């Protein structure tokens, strides 16, 4: 990863607490979604630290006060479907953000992403895009999403995930060395099926209650 931006791995007691809830196989679906919401907010808080702002003056009930408002258009780009669980908590922090979806599924034979949904408009792209996917495993879907956002013309792109594997992180940094990656944990490795170890299982199934009975 020489020359690439180093990943930001959040180190905070709240991150570790909610991550433990996600990893625990006994955590029910509703609690899993709650932990995902909490971690998404913490990731966004860190990722949006360097947003540009414009100075404004507001009037309090007592007198005028100097203040600041976020400047520019911010886009959230969840990778369907697991990334959907990260959208609402970030919108809670930044309700003005736009949401643009990208859909990929993984070919279980080749482990490569196959695109099935992309509706970026032809008009002017957002100023900053946050690509959202809880799991950075092989990196295939993330790279495909980053390429789509780049092709749209976005200049500032960040990738937010909960857990990453070293293999996926290396692949993303090789393809997009200037993209900042923020995660809550960097796990040990991928298994032969392309799943993160120790990981947390399938983030989409666990969020939306679609685990096989």
Active site residue 50: no
100 to each of 68, 104, 129, how far by Cα in Å? 26, 14, 9
Active site residue 210: no
Q: CA 102 to CA 117: how far, in whole Å?
A: 5
- Say which of 107, 110, 151, 210 is annotated catalytic: 110
- Say which of 23, 73, 156, 202 is annotated catalytic: 202
Q: CA 137 to CA 146: how far, in whole Å?
A: 15
Q: CA 33 to CA 53: how far, in whole Å?
A: 31
Active site residue 133: no
Active site residue 27: no
Peptide bond into 81 cis (omega under 30): yes
The DSSP code for 6 is: P
- Say which of 21, 106, 156, 170 is annotated catalytic: 106
Residues with catalytic function: 106, 110, 202, 205
């Amino acid at each position: 990863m020489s020359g690439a931006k180093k990943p930001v791995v959040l180190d905070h007691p709240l991150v570790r607490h909610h991550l433990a809830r996600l990893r625990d196989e006994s955590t029910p679906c509703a609690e899993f979604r709650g932990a995902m919401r909490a971690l998404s907010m913490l990731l966004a808080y860190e990722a949006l630290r360097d947003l540009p702002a414009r100075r404004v003056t507001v009037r309090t009930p007592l007198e005028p006060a100097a203040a600041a408002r976020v400047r520019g258009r911010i886009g959230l780009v969840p990778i369907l479907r697991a990334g959907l669980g990260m959208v609402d908590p970030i919108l809670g922090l930044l309700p003005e953000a736009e949401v643009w979806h990208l859909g990929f599924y993984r070919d279980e034979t080749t482990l490569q992403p196959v695109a099935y949904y992309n509706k970026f408009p032809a008009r002017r792209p957002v100023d900053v895009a946050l690509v959202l996917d809880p799991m950075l495993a092989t990196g295939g879907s993330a790279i495909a999403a980053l390429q789509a956002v780049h092709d749209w013309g976005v200049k500032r792109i960040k990738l937010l995930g909960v857990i990453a594997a070293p293999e996926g992180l290396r692949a993303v940094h090789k393809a997009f060395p200037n993209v900042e990656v923020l995660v809550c944990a960097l796990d040990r490795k991928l298994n032969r099926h392309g799943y993160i170890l120790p990981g947390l299982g399938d983030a989409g199934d666990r969020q939306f209650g679609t685990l096989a009975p």
